[in-house]
Amino acid sequence: MKWWREARFGMFIHWGVYSVPAGTYKDKKIKGIGEWIMHRAKIPISEYEEIAGQFNPVKFNAEEWVQIAKNAGMKYIVITSKHHDGFCLWDSKITRWDIMDASPFRRDILKELADACQKNDIRLSFYHSIMDWHHPDAQAPFYPNYNNKKKSNPNFPGYVKNYLKPQLKELLANYGKIGILWFDGEWIKDWTSPMGKDMYNYIRSLQPEIIINNRVDKGRQGMSGMNEEGNFAGDYGTPEQEVPATGLSGVDWESCMTMNKTWGFKSFDHDWKSSETLIRNLVDIASKGGNYLLNVGPTSEGLIPKPSIERLEKIGKWIKKNKEAIYDTSANPFKFLEWGRCTKKVSKESAILYLHVFNWPDDGRLLVPAIKNRIDKAYLLTDPDKKSLKTKVNDDGVEIRLPKIAPDKISSTVVLKIKGKLDIGEMILSQRKDGSIILPAIEAKLYGEEIKYLSGRKRGRDYIKFFKSTKDWAEWEFKVKKPGEFNVSAKISAKGRGSFQLITANQVLNGTATKTRKDYKFRNISLGTLKLPSKGKTTIKVIPVKKGLKPFNLNSIILSPIQ
Ligand code: FHN
C-alpha cells in the first residue's frame, strides 16, 4: 500500500457508451447519474447496442488525459474498463460487446491509456463492474429492471467462471502493471462474500502487488469496509460522495466523488463544485488519512469537459505550491481545528505539522491546541526564505503569529516543526475567539443503551441518534475562557416531535425537536439563554425527557455570546 498511501490523490474516469446519450433518451432528460441511463430509461439491449454503434470518440487523446491528471497532482488513474452496461473499453477476445467490435472507433482505449500512463509514471487502475446488464448469464434477463436486487440468475456462476474472471485475466495480463482493481456492482443478490474472497485471491494470483478495493466483497455500504461477517474486505474502504467525519480509523480508505452530480457525462449537468470545495476536500481527506479519487466524465467525442479541466488546473496550481503538505503525509493528531485542517510527517525524534488554514485569523493569531512539544520553527510553506514566525506557548497550546494577508484564500499552509516525539495533551473543546462555543456530536460522551453517534455517509451524516429511552444522554465537557450569557440553539433533525432538556450545573433549558425533511437536513432549534458565570471546565448534558418520543438526531449545540 506504500505508493497508494503516499499518492493521496487520483483521477476517476467514468467513460463509455452512456456518454453518447449523455443523459437524454428519446428527447427526454433522464434523472440520475448518467452512466445508469440504460437502466433508468429502460433501454432494451438491442437499442443500447445501436447507441454503441454511434460511440466514436475521435478526439480521444490518452496522452492529453494523462497530462491533465498529472498536472492536477494526481498520481493514479482509475478508469471504467467495464461499467454496469457491460461495454468493454479494451480489445476483449471473450466478447464482441467491446470497443473493437461494437463501435466504429475500433481502437483499444485501455492500451493507449496504459502506454501514456507508463510514459508519465502514473499508475493505471481499472474500475470493473461485477454487475453486468448486457450478459445473458448476469442481469440482462432482468430487463427492464437491470438492477434487480431480488432476482437471481441461475447461470450467474457460469458468468463468473467463463466471462468475468477470463476478462479480468485479459486486463491483468495485457496492460502492464496495474495499480488497483476497483470493483463495483457487488450489491446484487447473485454476488456473495465467498465469491468475493475467491475473486480477491484470483486477482492477487494474477498480479501479486495489485491493490483491491473493498467492493470485491459485500458490505461496503457500512463504509467501514466491513463485510457481512464484520471482517474487513479488500485492501481499503471506499466511502462515496462524502468524507467520513473522523475518517475510517485503522483502515486505508479513499473517498470517491464527482465534480458535478454525475459520474458519466450528462450534457445538462452544470452543477459543478467550486475549486475551493475540491481543494478543501483534498485537504480534509488527507488530514483524516484518506485518499481522494476525483471523477471526470469525458464526452462521446473523447474530451474531458472544460469545467473539469479548469478545476483540475486550479487544483494543480495549489498542489504545486503545497505538495509537501499533502503527499506522503498522515492523519492529523487533533480532533477538531477551528480554522482548518492538519496533516503531518513524523519520525522518532521530530515531527512536522502542516497547518492548512482555511479561515485566516483577522488578529493574526493561530492557536494550535494541546501541543506539549517545544517548537523548533514555524514558517509559511510558500515563503521561499522560510522566515520564522513568532510562536508562544500558553496553557491552550501554541500560538503562532501570522502575517495579515493569507498567502492563499482557499488554504494556506503553515509549517510547524517540533522537537521530539509528537506529544498532544488532552484535547478539550474550548470557547472560540468570537466567544462562541460549538459542541459537535462527534465530541460528545454518550451514555445509555441505544444512543449512538453516526458518522459520514451520504451527504454528511454526522449526528447523535437519540432514541426513545430517557436513560440515554449526551454530555460535553468544554472550557469557558470568557464567561457571560449565551443564546443556545441545537442543530436537530427529527421524524416527529421529540422533547429534550439541556442541563448545566445550575440551569435547565427545554427544547422540542420538530419534524425535518431528511435525517441530514438539520434545523436550528432555539433553547433560550444560558449563563456561564465562571472560567474553566464546564459540562453540558442533553437528555430526552418524554417517554415514547420520536427519535431525533443532534448534530451540535451552539452557544452564541450575548454581547
Ligand atoms: O453504480 C455505481 C455508479 O455508477 C458509480 O460507478 C459509483 C462510483 O463509485 N459506484 C456505483 C454506485 O455506488
Q: Model confidence over 204-260: pLDDT tens digits? A: 999 999 999 999 998 664 444 455 556 667 899 898 898 887 777 778 999 999 999
Q: pLDDT, tens digit, for every residue of 124-179? A: 999 999 999 999 999 999 999 999 989 999 999 999 999 999 999 999 999 999 99
**Please, which pLDDT band fits residue 505 given cuts at 50, 70 and 90?**
confident
What pLDDT score does 222 carry?
Answer: 44
* Closest C-alpha residue for ligand 1 atom 5: 263
What is the 240 CA–ligand 1 centroid distance (Å)?
Answer: 8
What is the 371 CA–ligand 1 centroid distance (Å)?
Answer: 41
* Closest C-alpha residue for ligand 1 atom 1: 185
What pLDDT score does 428 carry?
Answer: 84
What is the 132 CA–ligand 1 centroid distance (Å)?
Answer: 13
Measured in residues, the chain has a length of 563
Residue 459 has pLDDT above 70, yes or no: no
Residue 116 has pLDDT above 70, yes or no: yes
Q: What is the mean pLDDT of residues 434-446?
A: 92
What pLDDT score does 122 carry?
Answer: 98
Residue 495 has pLDDT above 90, yes or no: no
What pLDDT score does 228 carry?
Answer: 52
Q: Which residues contact 16 (CB under 8 A, 6 or more apart)?
A: 35, 55, 80, 83, 85, 87, 89, 264
Lowest mean pLDDT among 178-182, 334-338, 356-360, 480-484: 334-338
Would you state the torsion angle of the CA atoms of residues 220, 221, 224, 225, taken in this order, to the nearest 10 degrees?
0
What pLDDT score does 467 carry?
Answer: 63
C-alpha distance from residue 63 to each of 70, 105, 126, 381 (Å): 10, 18, 17, 32
Q: What is the mean pLDDT of residues 36-54?
A: 98
> Which of 220, 240, 254, 258 to probe ligand 1 with, by most ligand atoms within 8 A of CB?
240
Mean pLDDT of the chain: 93
What pLDDT score does 179 carry?
Answer: 98
* Closest C-alpha residue for ligand 1 atom 4: 35
Report which ligand 1 atom has the smallest distance to the Cα of 83.
6
Q: pLDDT, tens digit, for every residue of 72-104? A: 999 999 999 999 999 999 999 999 999 999 999
* Pocket, ligand 1, Cβ cutoff 6 A: 33, 35-36, 184, 240, 256, 263
> Which of 184, 259, 262 to probe ligand 1 with, by most ligand atoms within 8 A of CB?
184
Residue 415 has pLDDT above 50, yes or no: yes
Please indicate whether residue 219 or residue 460 has the higher confidence score (pLDDT). 219
What pLDDT score does 462 carry?
Answer: 80
What pLDDT score does 427 carry?
Answer: 81
Taking CA 61 as the corner, what is the angle to CA 60 and CA 64, rounded to the nearest 5 degrees?
Answer: 130
Q: What is the mean pLDDT of residues 29-57?
A: 98
Please indicate whether residue 100 or residue 431 has the higher confidence score (pLDDT). 100
One-letter amino acid identity for 497?
R
What is the 123 CA–ligand 1 centroid distance (Å)?
Answer: 21
DSSP characters over 450-484: S-EEE---TT---EEEE-S-TT-EEEEEEEESS-E
* Closest C-alpha residue for ligand 1 atom 10: 184
* Upper half-sphere CA count for residue 446 (Cβ side, 13 Å): 19
What is the 478 CA–ligand 1 centroid distance (Å)?
Answer: 41
Q: What is the mean pLDDT of residues 457-483?
A: 81
Query: 191, 147 in Cβ contact below 8 A?
Result: no
Q: Residue written as cell 476497483?
A: 182
Report which ligand 1 atom has the smallest distance to the Cα of 295.
8
Report which ligand 1 atom has the smallest distance to the Cα of 264.
4
